[in-house]
Amino acid sequence: MFISNAYAAGEGAAQTGGTMELIFMLVVFGLIFYFMIFRPQSKRVKEHKNLMSALGKGDEVLTSGGILGKIAKISDDSDYVLLSLNETTQITIKKDYIAAVLPKGSIQSL
């Protein structure tokens, strides 16, 4: 009485472009992911590997913790570096925590 009858539609509209639109959107999101996230991160990792391989004794470095020091001892087989903070203080850190190589004389200018 108060509820109207529901009738099935005769011939519905076919969804021909639905799958193509979905595939197109997935490709667009994949490209955005690649260019915004994956590519810059891999570039950053590559630059850090080059920095680690170019380290040498006497280089002045900045650690990710903010410590400035001069490399006193470095070995190829070990992942650790001996940093000299001043004439008497030396610390051992892992190579991965070196964030940047500073120009010569930058520690003395501070």
Give the structural domain span for 48.
15-54
- Domain annotation covers residue 29: yes
- Is pLDDT larger for residue 105 or for residue 93? 93
- Domain annotation covers residue 19: yes
Number of domains within the chain = 2
Residues 61 and 97 occupy one common structural domain: yes
pLDDT reported for residue 53:
86
Provide the CATH number for the domain around residue 85: 2.30.30
DSSP string, 70-82: EEEEE-SSSSEEE
Residues 78 and 45 occupy one common structural domain: no
pLDDT for 11 beyond 70: no
Residues 49 and 60 occupy one common structural domain: no
Tens digit of pLDDT for each residue in 32-59? 999 999 999 999 999 989 988 888 899 9
Cut 0.85: pTM above it? no
Cα angle 14, 15, 18 (rounded to 5 degrees) comes to 170
Residues 34 and 60 occupy one common structural domain: no
68 pairs with which residues across the strands?
A: 62
